[in-house]
Structure formats: C-alpha cells, structure tokens
Structure 1
Amino acid sequence: MKVKEIESITDHRPFKIPEESWKYYQEWNLAIFMHWRISLDDLRALVPEVFEIDMFDGSPWISLVAFDMNNIGIKNIPKVPHISDFHELNIRTYVKYQGKPGVYFLSMEGSKRSSCRVLKAFSKLPYRYSNINRNTFSYHSKNPAQQDHYSVTYRVGDSLEYKSKLDCWLTERYALFNPSKKGVFEYNIHHLPWPMKEIQIKDLEVNYQGFPKLSEQPELVHYSPGVKVITWKKKKHSL
C-alpha cells in the first residue's frame, strides 16, 4: 500500500493527524510485543513527573518490543542503506501529556552503532547500541555496557481475527513523548492498525537491571508482521 493510501485511513486513531506534511518514513517489521502490568508506584519512579501515567482499567503497563527497523528515510531524499535497516528493542510505557495519549520510552537499543548515533542526535531519543541477533524463530540481545539481556525463541501462528480493547490500547499508539532539559518533545506518527498473529513463546530470558518486573513471565504477548510508518517533525513544548 502506498503512503497516500495509508495517510487517508485514519478512523482507528484516537486523534487527528497533523495538518502539515509528514517528514519521515520507516517500517517496523516482525515485531514481538511483551506486556507486563506494573504497580503505579514502581512506574512513577521511572517516568518524569511532567507526564501523567496512562492506565487501562486502573492499571499501568510496561512493554518490551523487539522488531526490525527498515527503510528509514527523509521524505523525497534517498535513504542511507547502512543506517536505514537494523534490529531494535525498546522498553516503553504509556503516558499522557496535556491530555494526549502516547508512549514514553524507558530504553531503546539498536544493533548498529552508526544508526544509534545518528538517530540519537536527530531525534533526541535514548538510543544505545546492543549486540542483537535474530533468525526466523529467535531474537537475542545483549548490551555490552550494562549487561542487559533478552533472549526468546518462539513460533508464529495464525492471524488474530479479534483484538481486545486492551490489545488495541497497548499497540495502537500514535504519539510519543521525550523530555529534555528545556521542555518536552512530541513526535506524531501514523500507520494502519497493527496486523496481529498468534505467537507461542518457547524459551524466554529477560534480565534488565533497571526493570526487574521484566524478569517475570509477560501477562500478554503479540506478534505482528509489521507496519509502514510516517512521522512528523518533532514538536517542542516549553516547560
């Protein structure tokens, strides 16, 4: 599907897309979602006070998403192959800023040092390099500095015909927020609803020093073949 068609389908969004033209394109492919319910006190210690913790039926959540980042590029400018494709793993939670729902990233890891440097400089998002390897049915990440570790083997099943309200709440997010010393950066994104498939987790090891909750078995898992994504220039909110 072409970008113009994607841009025209917006009924699934909780708020309108920006009026100005989008700036960047990327694809998030072969995504493994894992989700944990977390106590409000534990999460509040990890999230800046400027953000309201978003909750589903009274509970906040934290998620780990491992996927392939592909074809990153600026609109009407050829992509740079060496930095445009890499594996990514992020840990995120769900917040509101000025009443708008979105994502706050607690950690972001990429499999290429050059990609992490460039994206961190341009986006101001907390990218760091990790040694990531994946094949058809496994995904392994280890951070050489912090010794954080994620390893999973899995099998993908049939397409998921029904998505619950919680499934959509956790995955259909169209803004992300990142704090800075002088304000908050807002990034608006758009894609079609995530197509979902069943996933069976075979073996799982998660050890993140700053996120002990992730060492437990996830309460909910998702798998998606991926989505094509357009994003807008970051918007700065002064404090």
Structure 2
Amino acid sequence: MKPLDPQGPPLPTHQIMSQWWRDISFLHWPVEPALLAPLLPRGVRPDIFDGSAWVGLIPFRMVDAGIGTGPPVPWLGTFAETNVRVYSVDDRGRHGVTFLSLEAQRLLVVLGARLGFNVPYEWASMQVRDHAAPGGDEGDGRVLTYTTRRFTRSRAAGGRPPRSRITVRVGERLGEPSPLELFLTARFGLHTQVAGQSLWVPNTHGPWPLRSAEVLELDDELVVAAGLGTFARTTPPASVLFSTGVRTTFGFPQRL
C-alpha cells in the first residue's frame, strides 16, 4: 500500500471552522474489517493496512475553535475530547475517519455537532492532567492523564455511564513516520451520514509532529460502549503515538 501524504491539501475556499488539536495521544488496535463494515456510512468501506482495519482511541485537548474564518470562540471553543474512531475510504479514494463516539465537555458543542452533522458526540465530565516531568524538548518525558465520564448510560457498557482513564508517557521524537504511522494519523476528512445521505467533510492541517509514547495506565469503557467488544480492556494497543498538536481547518460537506 502506498503511504499516505503527511501534508494535507490546500486550505478550503469556504471553511466552516478551524481549531487546534493539542496534546493528543493515539492508541490503536488492529481488528478484522468485517467488524467495522456494518458501522460505516453507506458508500464507505473499512480502510485496510496489511490486511487489518484499525480502531483508534484518541484523547486530546480542543483549543481555540472558531466558526468560519472568525476568531476563536471564548470558553466554548476550548475543551477536552476523547474519540473512538475507525478508518474509512470511499469510492473516490478519499481516506478519512468515521467517528463511533466523541466525548466532549461542552454541551452546546455536543448538541450542535449532533444536529448539524449527525456526528455522535456525547456530553461528559473530562480532565486532561499534565504531570510535572523533568527535561526534554517539546514534551520528552511528559506524563499526561486523560479522564472522562459520560453523563448518559450505555447498554453496551453494562447499563452505566462509560468511563475512560488513560495515562501516557511521551517518548522520543520520530524522524520519519512509518507507513503505518502515517496511515493512522494522516487523515484529511471524515465520513458521516445525515438524513440518509453519506457525506465527506474535508479538513486540512500540516504534518503531525509525532513522538513515540508508552501507556502507563488504560482503563477504558468507551471502545466497549461503541459496540466493538472488550479488546481495549484485555489487549495492549499495537501502536501508541503522541503529538503536541496541529491546527486544522474544515471545509463544507460534500455528497459522496
């Protein structure tokens, strides 16, 4: 498989929002493509790397989100988020992300994303704690803990509000990302479905400044709540990465 380009497309002519994704950890597991196929929008199929589809558990801080070309929205535009995502490709060859859930601190953001784009945001109590750590440039040796507790219950999580607690230690900067690391991070759009119509929502950003990372603690119920089974509770992630972040810009949705 040809590696994806780490450099995003040009800025869209018409943009709907922009934001920073900061202090982001990428935890990934390979799964059988058949597990994901029923969960994707019509006209979209699992994106495959070396015969496997991939599930990501991605905690981070959304910072300075703004509407259109306007300035950041105070308070409402900065919050913690954790998403469960899978990788998808459509018939035009656009490699993107399909979100199975997104936890967020801001109720208005949750309601707006659900109503506008049918993106499965969930309101949650969340925190990102950056533990004091000695030395290193751009985060080498940092330890971060991401916690979340959803306000609504999930049948797949035993009928209780699902929780997640993830602690990672940041490692060395990566020189040249591997093809798999690009596959898991170089994504420039999302697939979703609104009122029965499958959509592609483009976004663009520069290359991720990627670093290795180590999971120190993982107690997660979000992957289970997304209907994917218990592997995230029983199996260590096959890939763990960290980035200080990028700024990203979203364009208008396009029909598939």
**TM-score in terms of structure 1 length:** 0.87
Structure 1 distance, partners of 2:213, 2:126, is 21
8 Å CA contact 2:66, 2:72 repeated in 1? yes
Asked if structure 2 preserves the Cα contact closer than 8 Å seen for 1:197 and 1:222, the reply is yes
Instruction: Quote the Cα distance in structure 2 between the aligned partners of 1:197 and 1:153.
Output: 15
Report the secondary structure of 1:82's partner residue. Answer: coil
> What is the 5 A alignment of 1:147-226?
147-207=161-221, 208-209=224-225, 210-212=227-229, 213-215=231-233, 216-226=235-245
The structural deviation recorded for 1:178 is 0.2
In the TM superposition, residue 52 of structure 1 has moved relative to its aligned partner by: 1.5
Q: Is there any run of 5+ residues in structure 2 with no aligned partner, and where?
A: 131-143, 155-160
Aligned partner of 2:104 in structure 1 is 110
Q: Verify the 8 A CA contact 1:13 1:174 in the aligned structure 2.
A: no
Gaps of 5+ in 1: 1-10
Whole-angstrom distance in 2 between the partners of 1:181 and 1:22: 22
Q: Structure 2 residue aligned with 1:143, among 146, 150, 174? A: 150
Say whether 1:69 aligns with 2:54: no
> Residue 71 of structure 2 aligns with which residue?
78
Identity of aligned residues (%): 27
Deviations 1:102-137 (A, max 9, x none): 111111110121221233333331111111112002
Q: How many residues align?
A: 226
| Partners of 2:67 and 2:40 in 1: CA distance | 30
Could you tell me which residue of structure 2 aligns to residue 32 of structure 1? 25
> Are the aligned partners of 1:156 and 1:197 in contact in 2 as well (CA < 8 Å)?
yes
Aligned CA distance change for structure 1 residues 30 and 169 (closer, same or farther; 3 Å): same
SS where residue 65 of structure 1 aligns? strand
The amino acid across from 2:35 in the alignment is: D
TM-score (norm 2): 0.81
The residue matched to 1:45 in structure 2 has which SS? helix
Contact preservation (8 Å) 2:47, 2:88: yes
- 1:101 corresponds to which residue? 95
Distance 1:101 1:114, change over 3 A: same
Check the 8 A contact 1:95/1:103 in 2, yes or no.
yes
Instruction: Return the offset for 1:45.
Output: 3.2
Shift in CA distance, 46/214, structure 1 to aligned 2, threshold 3 Å: farther
2:125 alignment partner in structure 1: 131
Deviates more, 1:171-180 or 1:210-219: 210-219
Distance 1:65 1:38 in 2: 16
CA deviations over 1:190-214 (Å, ceiling 9, x no partner): 1011101221211111122322232
For the residues of structure 1 that align with 2:113 and 2:218, how far apart are their CA atoms? Answer: 29
Task: Give, in whole Å, the separation in 2 of the partners of 1:188 and 1:227.
Answer: 16
Question: Partner letter of residue 231 of structure 1?
Answer: F
Secondary structure, in 3 states, of the residue corresponding to 2:242?
strand
Give me the CA root mean square deviation: 1.9
Paired residue secondary structure (1:168): helix
Q: Deviations over 1:18-76 (max 9, x none)?
A: 76343421110000110000112222232244212110011111111110011111234
Q: Structure 2: how far apart are the matches of 1:77 and 1:19?
A: 15
Residues 206 and 119 (structure 1 numbering): CA distance in 2 closer, same or farther, change over 3 Å?
Answer: same
2:137 corresponds in structure 1 to none
More displaced, 68-77 or 167-176? 68-77
**SS of residue matched to 1:114:** helix
